[in-house]
A and B are shown apart, each in its own frame.
Chain A
Amino acid sequence: MENFLQAIDTLTIRFALAAVVLPLLAFVINICLPGKSNKVAGWVSTIAILLSCVLSAFVFAKVWNQHQVHQQQLWFTIGATKVYAGVLLNNLSALMLLLVSVIALPVHIYSTAYMKEDENYKRYFTYLSFFCFSMLALVVVDSLVLFYVFWELVGFSSYLLIGFWYTRPKAIMANKKAFIMNRIGDIGLLTGIIILFTQYHTFDLEQLFGQNGLVQSATQISATWQYIACAGIFLGVAAKSAQFPLHTWLPDAMEGPTSVSALIHAATMVAAGVFLLGRVYPLFNPEELIILAVIGCFTAFMAATIALTQNDLKRILAYSTISQLGYMIMAMGIGAYASSLFHLVTHAFFKCLLFLAAGIIIHEVQHIKDENQLHIDPQNILYMGGLRKKMPLTFIACIVAGLALIGLPFTSGYLSKDGILIQAFEWSEGKSWAFKLVPIGALITSWLTAFYVTRLIVKVFFGDFKLLKINPSIKLHISDGAWQYRVPLIFLAICCLFPLFSLNPVLYEHAWLFGGFSKITALDRVNIYHTIIPAGVNILSVLIIYWAYSVYIKQKALAFPETGFLFKLSYHEWYIDPFYNRFIIAPVMALGKTSQWIDRNIIDGFIHLLQRLALGFAKIAEWTDRYIIDGILHLAASIVLGIGNFARYFQGGKVQYYLFSMLAIILAIFLFKILI
């Protein structure tokens, strides 16, 4: 029996590994393919992700609500420390594995059409496969070191894809910004990992955070280190999941292709932060969880207010993503672990759908722009309107996703979001009034969401096409597009409805996904919140939707003055970017300039002084060498030369002269002898 079980486990592990490695394989194949816009690349990546998807589904079926599968092998040894690498499949990672591959599949299919005319088609799919590999690997690994590696790779592939159109200066700025902000978070995560390792001497997630893991049982960690580790990990989460202090990269990241935004910056990668929280959840103590809840709630509220006034289609969606991520983080903070992950899953579907629909709209408006040579921003919703007749499928998809985002009944969003709201109220029960702010903030955010979603849909799909008003000669050839567009939309729209998650469209506790995370018990409908909150939220939401609809469609006088302080605050995104520019970037740049000045004038000056001194010494040495040492040598040489010349003078070539001198010398010797 044991062996049989193990064999099944091994098979599961192999399937999971294959699901992870297939996109890597596609990445390698795509690198080797010839040509810049080789259409084969799209199919290679799509088939790889399709197979991953099937394998993930199998893994999910084997792991979900059953015992977790964990296998590891010795990776390397440093001193006495053994570092293991392996695969950890439990409910969380199996769910994420399935979610990532299922979301990636429609995005891949969509991309084959969306990127069709791009000259760097192959590069796009190469990066996309690389991202899928990193993300899938991130969710299954069991060691913090490997987790960090794939965390970085995910960030790196996101960087590549944001800057995919690297000839646009805005894209370059955006990917730099995303990269730097993520680095700030990565420092935090790395700090957290290092502290955890020094305290517990292992990187193993299961040993650290599993049942009876070291984090829960061991007591040797000091409070300070625990706080620093949590702060570090939270910094990582905030950067990756775009939470308040580090969220500004996400709206700018929308410079990438829309399909990328759908996959990476809405559905999967930004959820990696929430996933990390899910993995290390036992580490956080109650006070830290409160901080999480407050930051999450604040982010949700702030992003929702910003989304109210933005005019860029993708920017609105980006802020709504930040807002929803705030919800997830807040849910983690209030202990609604299951609801948080549930919301992660439902959000992935409807936000991906919204982005894909936005991609189609932008694509069509871009067509109009190119055909008529207009100077407009194809993403600006102020130019759109009345598209529902031209693009019925996109319209329906947007309505479904929008309702899910607002959280109206019969959608998946209702199940997950109301779960979070109810639990937020339960959490604040019996605490002081200040804690009430969190659920109330979340509640207000949910109404704000209703407003901005309605505004978005009304501006895009209802009324008249604004471009026609400006320029009546434009001919519109727009439609929902090819099957590569339609199929993902239909698939995702179905996934946004309640039957996928729960047979009961009203009660979130009945969702199967919710039951998979057993950390939360006491789901009895004990108090009034379970009835009053969904009812209250939804009735008000419907009213707000109607209000927004009437404000925008019936062209009533605008309800908000566009000059008010609140409008400006929202329109300028709470002035966070200017604030960062002035108080962080400017001082850093000033520091850089100062150090450059110091480097150039003081350090370089010192070096130049040294150089001059050395040059002077060299000149003296050269003079000595030339006139004294060489002089001696020349003197010796000229003496020898003089003697030589003197001796040579006798060698005139006249034989008789030699003979005569010989005779003279002999005579001289004889005379000399005689005289002496």
Chain B
Amino acid sequence: MISLMDFLMVGAGLFCTGMYVILTKRNAIQVLIGIELMLNGAILNLVAFGKYDRFNNGGQMFALFAIVLAAATTAVALAIILNVYKKYKTIDPGKVDGLKD
């Protein structure tokens, strides 16, 4: 039987992978993928802890909301990346430094 601990371990692995991707990749799309990975790690935690709420399925419901919101934020973020590309001709987040003093 798959225990709660296994879900949490997979979730933590996803989170760490996402964190790593965000910190190291030179491409905003890949950073976005990293964010999605971290988000999914967190959602996995929600679903896993959902077993303590069998009647209302609060964990699952909350996970669904988070997935929807994540989709929306991804769309917005992609649009931003598109505009950033138009302006800077690059999507490397290290080179987009217009706010630097």
Contacts and interface: CB of A to CB of B under 8 A. Distances in A.
B97 interface: yes
B2 interface: no
Contacts of A659: 22-23
A649 to B, nearest CB: 10
Contact of B94 (A648, A651, A656): A656
A583 interface: no
Contact of A654 (B19, B24, B94): B94
Contact of A648 (B22, B93, B101): B101
The main secondary structure of chain A at its interface with chain B is helix
Contact of A656 (B23, B98, B99, B101): B23
B100 A656 contact: no
A79 interface: no
A655 interface: yes
A652 interface: yes
A652 to B, nearest CB: 7
Nearest to A654: B94
Interface string A194-238: 000000000000000000000000000000000000000000000
A660 B100 CA distance: 17
Interface in A649-668: 651-657, 659-660, 663
Interface in B84-101: 93-94, 96-101
Contacts of B23: 656, 659-660, 663
A656 B97 contact: no
Q: Give the residue among A652, A655, A660 with the most B Cβ atoms within 10 A.
A: A655
B16 to A, nearest CB: 11
B94 A663 contact: no
| Dominant secondary structure at the B interface | loop
Nearest to B99: A653
Interface in A59-73: none
Interface in A625-672: 648, 651-657, 659-660, 663
Contact of A651 (B22, B93, B100): B100
A486 to B, nearest CB: 107
Contact of B97 (A648, A653, A660, A663): A653
A651 B101 contact: yes
B100 A663 contact: no
Interface string B25-63: 000000100000000000000000000000000000000
B23 to A, nearest CB: 5
B93 A663 contact: no
Contacts of A655: 93-94, 96
Nearest to A655: B93
Given A659-B22, A659-B23, A660-B23, A654 B93 contact: yes
Contacts of B96: 653, 655
Contacts of B100: 651-653
Contact of A663 (B19, B24, B98, B101): B19
B17 to A, nearest CB: 14
A289 B93 CA distance: 123
Contacts of B31: 656
Contacts of A656: 22-24, 31, 93-94
B49 to A, nearest CB: 22
B2 to A, nearest CB: 29
A656 B92 CA distance: 10
A654 B97 contact: yes
Contacts of B94: 653-657
Contacts of A653: 94, 96-100
Contacts of B97: 652-654
A659 B34 CA distance: 13
Contacts of A654: 93-94, 97
Interface string A358-373: 0000000000000000
Interface in A319-352: none
A655 B101 CA distance: 14
A298 to B, nearest CB: 105
Contacts of B24: 656
Interface string A77-106: 000000000000000000000000000000
Interface string B2-23: 0000000000000000010011
B66 to A, nearest CB: 21
Nearest to B98: A653
Nearest to A644: B101
A26 to B, nearest CB: 88
Contacts of B93: 654-656
A367 B100 CA distance: 101
A128 B94 CA distance: 102
Contacts of A660: 23
A654 B25 CA distance: 12
A252 B77 CA distance: 112
A232 B20 CA distance: 119
A659 B31 CA distance: 12
A656 B28 CA distance: 10
A659 B97 CA distance: 15
A554 B23 CA distance: 143
Contacts of B99: 653
A657 B97 CA distance: 12
A660 B98 CA distance: 20
Given A655-B93, A656-B31, A660-B23, 10 more contacts: A651-B101, A652-B97, A652-B100, A653-B94, A653-B100, A655-B94, A655-B96, A656-B23, A656-B94, A657-B94
Interface of B: 19, 22-24, 31, 93-94, 96-101
28 contacts: A648-B101, A651-B100, A651-B101, A652-B97, A652-B100, A653-B94, A653-B96, A653-B97, A653-B98, A653-B99, A653-B100, A654-B93, A654-B94, A654-B97, A655-B93, A655-B94, A655-B96, A656-B22, A656-B23, A656-B24, A656-B31, A656-B93, A656-B94, A659-B22, A659-B23, A660-B23, A663-B19, A663-B23
Interface of A: 648, 651-657, 659-660, 663
Q: Which 9 residue pairs spanning A and B have beta carbons closest together? A: A653-B97, A653-B100, A654-B94, A655-B93, A660-B23, A656-B23, A651-B101, A648-B101, A656-B93
